Amino acid sequence: MTELKALLFDVDGTLADTERDGHRVAFNHAFEEAGLDWRWDEALYGKLLAVTGGKERIRYYLAEFNRDFQMPENADEFVAGLHKSKTKHFTNMLREGKIPFRTGVKRLLEEAKAADLRMAVATTTTPENVSTLLEANLGVDWADWFEVIAAGDIVPNKKPAPDIYTWAMEQMNLRPVECLALEDSANGVKSAVAAEIPSIVVTVNGYTKDEDFTGASLIVSQFGDGDSASEVIRGSLDSGTMVTAQGLRALHAQGAA
């Protein structure tokens, strides 16, 4: 049986519930600042989340929901400029402490560190968003927690492609069977499955709770903490009412060859 060596954490929706009141709001600020009448309400944003990556999501919106918009000549520059502005607004919200870690995340990180589990981030968002979120929630030593930050455009293809997980494992010199991925979305699960990671834990949120998580080992409402219990949606949680580092080791042992 191959021992669990590393936890690979998704960011948006997993470490923090960033989409509805974070990224979505930041996109709208950027559109307003650019003098565009685009407004992504909660329902539309839920549809746009089918596409990962902020720049890719803007293009998807124009292609599927705003075909009348006349894209400027320098389309790449236009989209990149909007996304840069959006990232400025999003990181400001993070620095203002508006987007905390989800329940149980800090506890799980501490348990994993104490259990000598290696940790990395594997996300579609930008490195700047990751470092700002981690510093806001873990302090100035945030980089001590994660060996690798695999984020955004570091790979050619974003989730559901496996690239970001494969890149992270290559950097850590780890095999998929030595890893466990923690995700929140169908795109994320597909990415981890395609990267041949055998153990995948999903913590759902408002946007992803009804998605198809085929390939996931365990689906929960949250990681749980103190008197805020984790509810099991699919699979079994041997560690009582919380997702714990030891519980993840046991889950991995059941699934890994």
If you compute the radius of gyration of the chain from its CA atoms, what whole number of angstroms results? Answer: 18
Q: Which residue lies nearer to ligand XBP by CB, 23 or 102?
A: 23
Geometric angle at alpha carbon 98, from 92 and 100, rounded to 5°: 120
Q: Which residue lies nearer to Mg ion by CB, 52 or 199?
A: 52
For Mg ion, the binding residue among 4, 7, 13, 61 (CB under 5 A) is 13
Query: At CB < 8 A and 24+ separation, what contacts does 49-55 make?
Result: 49/19, 49/185, 49/207, 49/208, 50/187, 52/124, 52/158, 52/159, 52/160, 52/187, 53/124, 53/152, 53/158, 54/23, 54/27, 54/83, 54/86, 54/87, 54/125, 54/126, 55/79, 55/80, 55/83
Locate 33 and state its tokens: 């600042």
Asked if 217 touches ligand XBP (CB under 6 A), the answer is: no
Q: How many CB atoms are located within 10 Å of the residue 140 CB?
A: 7
Q: How far is CA 112 from CA 86, 129, 166, 187, 204, in A?
A: 33, 23, 21, 25, 21
Asked if 168 touches ligand XBP (CB under 6 A), the answer is: no
Q: Which residue lies nearer to ligand XBP by CB, 57 or 107?
A: 57
Cα separation, 45 vs 24, in Å, equals: 7
Cα separation, 139 vs 150, in Å, equals: 20
For ligand XBP, the binding residue among 12, 17, 163, 225 (CB under 6 A) is 12
Asked if 28 touches ligand XBP (CB under 6 A), the answer is: no
| Residue 184 annotated in active site | no
Q: Which residue lies nearer to ligand XBP by CB, 56 or 147?
A: 56
From the list 10, 17, 163, 184, the catalytic residue is 10
Asked if 123 touches ligand XBP (CB under 6 A), the answer is: yes
User: Footprint of ligand XBP on residues 129-148 (CB under 6 A)?
Assistant: 129
Q: Tell me which stretch binds ligand XBP (CB under 6 A): 49-57, 64-72, 140-148, 219-227.
A: 49-57
Q: Tell me which stretch binds ligand XBP (CB under 6 A): 34-42, 65-73, 120-128, 240-248.
A: 120-128
| Residue 76 annotated in active site | no
Question: Which residues bind to ligand XBP, rule: CB under 6 A?
Answer: 10-13, 19, 23, 52-54, 123-126, 129, 159, 185, 188
Which residues are annotated as catalytic?
10, 12
Question: Which residues bind to Mg ion, rule: CB under 5 A?
Answer: 10, 12-13, 184-185, 188
